[in-house]
């Protein structure tokens, strides 16, 4: 059930306890896009998906972020808030990471065990869980 997205834009769909939340998403799958991530930015509008990824760092970042680690079925393993200049612990089951501004993921209902879906723009069909 491997995911094959390309760099670009899409939507993060969170199936939380408060219902469905749709968040603008930037998708970073190439080595170059994943390496750059949110570096050099002052803010993030929506969220950033890094795939594949099992850990992240915030060295060189200008603002704190929320980080959600996703397994291969796009279920949230853990959500953490990280300050700039930190190294996150690797999550062994994590296959993807979602980054957003600090504090917003709680408002989206994103927490451990929640399923998400990724809808990539400009690609045939939807890439995400079919649950």
Q: For the segment 53-104, what is each residue's pLDDT rounded down to a tens digit? A: 999 999 989 999 999 999 999 999 999 999 999 999 899 999 999 999 999 9
Contacts of 86 (CB under 8 A, 6+ apart): 57, 58, 59
Distance CA 123, CA 35 (A): 23
* Segment 14-40, tens digit of pLDDT: 987 778 999 999 999 999 999 888 887
Distance CA 26, CA 99 (A): 10
Q: What is the pLDDT of residue 3?
A: 58
Q: What is the pLDDT of residue 126?
A: 44
Q: What is the pLDDT of residue 37?
A: 84
Q: What is the pLDDT of residue 127?
A: 42
87: three-class secondary structure by DSSP: strand
pTM higher than 0.85, yes or no? yes
Is the per-residue pLDDT at 13 higher than 90? yes
Q: What is the pLDDT of residue 129?
A: 40
């Amino acid at each position: 059930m491997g995911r094959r997205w390309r760099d670009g834009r899409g939507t993060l769909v969170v199936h939380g306890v408060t219902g469905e939340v749709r968040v603008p998403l930037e998708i970073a799958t190439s080595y170059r896009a994943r390496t750059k991530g949110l570096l050099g930015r002052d803010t993030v509008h929506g969220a950033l998906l890094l795939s594949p990824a099992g850990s992240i760092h915030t060295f060189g970042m200008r603002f704190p972020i929320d980080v959600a680690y996703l397994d291969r079925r796009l279920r949230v393993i853990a959500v953490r808030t990280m300050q700039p200049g930190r190294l996150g612990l690797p999550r062994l089951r994590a296959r993807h990471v979602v980054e957003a501004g600090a504090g917003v993921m709680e408002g989206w209902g994103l927490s451990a065990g929640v399923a998400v879906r990724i809808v990539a723009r400009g690609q045939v069909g939807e890439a995400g869980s079919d649950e």
